[in-house]
Amino acid sequence: MSRLDSFIRRLEAQRACLELAVRLIADLPGPVVEIGLGNGRTYDHLRSLLPDRPIFVFDRRLDAHPACRPPEDRLFLGDIARTLPTALGRMRRRAVLVHADIGSGDPAATARTARKLARYLPAIVAPGAIVASDQPIQARWIEPLPLPEGVEPGRYHLYRCTGFG
């Protein structure tokens, strides 16, 4: 498969998983979190799917297209090991949907970031929340969910937060 075909399949899987995640949280009140803003495509898509929900964004630095940037009071810049543990004060409610697009092209760095997510996400997610991620997350507080039809296992990942007790 060409890199272009692989990229297209990844984006199709991402869109299908986000749209399923939005349906799964329809009756849950609370904000949304985007981890890994990048150029802002998925943030922009989430804004269109959830126009009445606040979306909080986390990234190391701001590189997004100007039309795809969150308001400053919903933007957290820096390492997630520092920003996630303190974010709830500004968010005021735990998130019911988290989208994490954290793949960097460096497998070791990506694995480190996925481990940080597993460690620090409990500070901001609600029980029952949905986590959609481009990388697998291993944690006792989540359980894998079935992927949408047409999404190959391993291409994208969906989880439900089962609690932290």
- Write out pLDDT tens, residues 115-163: 999 999 999 999 999 999 999 999 999 999 999 999 999 999 999 999 7
Alpha-helical (H) ranges within 25-130 are 41-49, 80-83, 88-91, 107-120
pLDDT category at 104 given cuts 50, 70, 90 is confident
Among the four given CATH numbers 1.10.3720.10, 3.40.50.150, 3.40.50.920, 2.60.40.1930, the one describing domain 3-161: 3.40.50.150
pLDDT category at 164 given cuts 50, 70, 90 is low
Residue 105: per-residue pLDDT: 82
Residue 108: per-residue pLDDT: 92
What mean pLDDT, rounded, does the chain reach? 94
- Write out pLDDT tens, residues 56-94: 999 999 989 999 999 999 999 999 999 999 999 999 999
Decide: residue 159, CB within 10 A, 0-12 exposed, 13-18 middle, 19+ buried: buried
Kindly list the distances between the CA atom of residue 96 and the CA atoms of 8, 76, 99, in Å, as whole numbers in the listed order. 27, 18, 10
Residue ranges per structural domain of the chain: 3-161
Pairing of strands 125-133, 142-144: unpaired
* Residue closest to 156 by CA, chosen among 89, 73, 105, 100: 100
